[in-house]
Amino acid sequence: MATVLIRNGRIVTASEDFHADILIEDGRVHTIGRDIAVGDDVEVHDAKGQLVFPGGVDVHTHLDWEFGVARTVDTFGTGTRAAAFGGTTTVVDFCNQNHGESPLKGLEDWHKRAASACVDVGAHMIMLDVNDQALADMETLMLREGVSSFKLFTAYPGVLMVDDGVLVKAMRVAGKHGGQVSVHAENGYLIQLLVQDALAAGNTSPKYHMLTRPPEAEAEATARVIRLAEYTGTPLYIVHLSAMGALQAVAEARERGVHLHAETCPHYLFLDTAEYERPGFEGAKYVMSPPLRTADHGEALWRGLKSGDLDVIATDHCPFTFKEEPYGRKMSKQAGTEAFNKIPNGAPGIEERMPLIFDGFRKRGLSLNRFVETTATNPAKLFGMFPRKGTISVGSDADIVIFDPDETWTIKAAENHSRMDYSLFEGFPVTGKVKKVFCRGNLIVDGDEWLGREGMGEYLSRGESGLI
Ligand code: URP
Ligand code: ZN
Ligand code: ZN
């Protein structure tokens, strides 16, 4: 493996901001210092005038994933290549236990699919049937398989939803071995009732997805699961938080000292319910759960990022194409033309996250350090990968992004690298562009050029979760 020198960059981590060179050997950061002298055999990249920050860590993706009757369209190969072009070099993806099966089988299947990854990948486990054997398997996952985080749902009845007793059982076991429970917190029963009402009234268009998943459903479920975590003492992570009532529940619980962290996603920060007013079936592109909220919720989330009540920005990349061709109806929003409740829930974002958040933070006066913290360092810490991932320090993996803070460009799905045929952020002007990306010292993105390869991503056997 080549020895690499990144020269003259402005290095930004969650806590530092300074000019220096970085020498990379055997895929790791070997030396950080001024004017490092090297021989002609060393690959040198000049980063003068550029920012140099740790590769992004996206801890919420659904690649090549069967979701009810639908399936996400990106493979690990295509999804992680897109991630890399967007400056993300670590992905933690959701694998799941199938009903009636062991979660260990779910992980085995996931490993086969994840073999094509272009960047390093870890797995969270979605638990569905939490019986005695599955609880024992959770211990195996934590102690032997490097899976230290479990996701449970209070939404999607009949597909993914579990009851409160199941949540408590999973929390108890996770808490014994340094595990963390992540929850998709929406009140599934309330939503089910509202969906039935809407359909009975003949309301089938995409905007009813939003109207049947009110913020109160999220606020209630978030407050409830927080109380369960408070009772068990197990670290809790709220995924894709979108509503101000939910954020308030998080902030109050933190005041009480609950071991709790929360994530939001770019779409809740930059978009609002107006997207559901698009003509025809276009609103289906924005059908994800929780749905987009009114702009006041977005403003509250920005405040949460400033105050520290929100710790992580992840994508929830769950891609279904808008058009049926070329990947078929099962992987497309068109599966739901008959009624909003049949539209596959999920949206893309794996490539846009880092530049979009960089630009948003700049406009909103949040610091560069906080940008790195919420997109790389905190997720790496919370999911047992720090300091190997999420920072630039001697000994850490040389996952590094060279980033031009001044280049202005426009997001276009046609120029993205995943299989998706739309972007939630189509036409957004963005200032700040990924120029070069290194994954364990390998240059994998050089401008528009792809130098990585499918299968070069390594599996991340993770340590204890829930630590910041
Ligand atoms: O709509 C979404 N978020 N789809 C992915 C599954 C989940 O709930 O995270
Ligand atoms: Zn979810
Ligand atoms: Zn998700």
CATH at residue 137: 3.20.20.140
Which amino acid, residue 205? S
Would you say residue 59 lies in a domain? yes
50: Cβ below 6 Å to ligand 1?
no
Look at ligand 1, atom 9, and give the residue with the nearest C-alpha. Answer: 316
Would you say residue 17 lies in a domain? no
**Cβ atoms of 411 and 430 closer than 8 Å:** yes
Q: Tell me what the mean pLDDT of segment 162-169 comes to.
A: 97
Give pLDDT, residue 71.
98
Q: Tell me what the mean pLDDT of segment 439-448 comes to.
A: 98
Q: Helices 215-232 and 188-200: crossing angle, nearest 10°?
A: 160
318: Cβ below 6 Å to ligand 1?
yes
Q: Which of 264, 267, 345 to mutate to test the pocket of ligand 1 (most atoms within 8 A of CB)?
A: 345
Over 90: is that where the pLDDT of 454 sits? yes
Q: Give the H or E element holding residue 359.
A: helix 353-364
Would you say residue 389 lies in a domain? no
Within 72-187, residue ranges assigned H as helices are 76-85, 103-114, 132-144, 164-176
Q: How far apart are CA 103 and CA 131, in angstroms?
A: 11
Which domain range does residue 327 map to?
55-369
Q: Which ligand is nearest to the CA of 346?
A: 1
201-257 pLDDT, tens digit per residue, is 999 999 999 999 999 999 999 999 999 999 999 999 999 999 999 999 999 999 999
Would you say residue 330 lies in a domain? yes
186: Cβ below 6 Å to ligand 1?
no
Buried b (16+ CB within 10 A) or exposed e, 210-236: bbbbbbebbbbbbbbbbebbbebebbb
Q: How far apart are CA 90 and CA 385, in angstroms?
A: 10
Confidence bin at 101 (pLDDT 50/70/90): very high
284-325 pLDDT, tens digit per residue, is 999 999 999 999 999 999 999 999 999 999 999 999 999 999
**Cβ atoms of 92 and 452 closer than 8 Å:** no
Give pLDDT, residue 420.
98
What separation in Å is there between the alpha carbon of 200 and the centre of ligand 3?
28
Number of domains in the chain: 1
Look at ligand 1, atom 8, and give the residue with the nearest C-alpha. Answer: 289
Would you say residue 443 lies in a domain? no
Give pLDDT, residue 189.
97
Q: Which carries the bigger pLDDT value, residue 159 or residue 282?
A: 282
Would you say residue 34 lies in a domain? no
Look at ligand 1, atom 6, and give the residue with the nearest C-alpha. Answer: 346
Look at ligand 1, atom 7, and give the residue with the nearest C-alpha. Answer: 289
Over 90: is that where the pLDDT of 1 sits? no
Q: Which of 59, 154, 184 to mutate to test the pocket of ligand 1 (most atoms within 8 A of CB)?
A: 184
pTM given for the model: 0.98
362-402 pLDDT, tens digit per residue, is 999 999 999 999 999 999 999 999 999 999 999 999 999 99
What separation in Å is there between the alpha carbon of 85 and the centre of ligand 3?
21
Q: Which ligand is nearest to the CA of 184?
A: 2
Q: Which ligand is nearest to the CA of 268?
A: 1
Q: Tell me what the mean pLDDT of segment 101-110 comes to.
A: 98
Give pLDDT, residue 415.
97
184: Cβ below 6 Å to ligand 1?
yes
Give pLDDT, residue 211.
98
Which amino acid, residue 86? G
Would you say residue 404 lies in a domain? no
Over 90: is that where the pLDDT of 52 sits? yes
Angle (CA) 211-213-217 rounded to 5° is 135
Q: pLDDT > 70: what percent of the chain?
A: 100
Q: Which ligand is nearest to the CA of 239?
A: 2
Over 90: is that where the pLDDT of 468 sits? no
Would you say residue 444 lies in a domain? no
| Average confidence score pLDDT of the chain | 98
Q: pLDDT > 90: what percent of the chain?
A: 99
Q: How far apart are CA 399 and CA 88, in angstroms?
A: 9
What separation in Å is there between the alpha carbon of 127 and the centre of ligand 2?
13
27: Cβ below 6 Å to ligand 1?
no
Tokens describing residue 221 = 């479920």
**Cβ atoms of 275 and 255 closer than 8 Å:** no
Query: Exposed, middle or buried by CB within 10 Å (0-12, 13-18, 19+), for 449?
Result: exposed
Give pLDDT, residue 279.
97
Angle (CA) 83-85-91 rounded to 5° is 20
- Mapping DSSP to helix (H, G, I), strand (E, B) and coil, where does residue 133 land? helix
Q: Tell me what the mean pLDDT of segment 432-439 comes to.
A: 98
Look at ligand 1, atom 4, and give the residue with the nearest C-alpha. Answer: 346
**Cβ atoms of 348 and 81 closer than 8 Å:** no
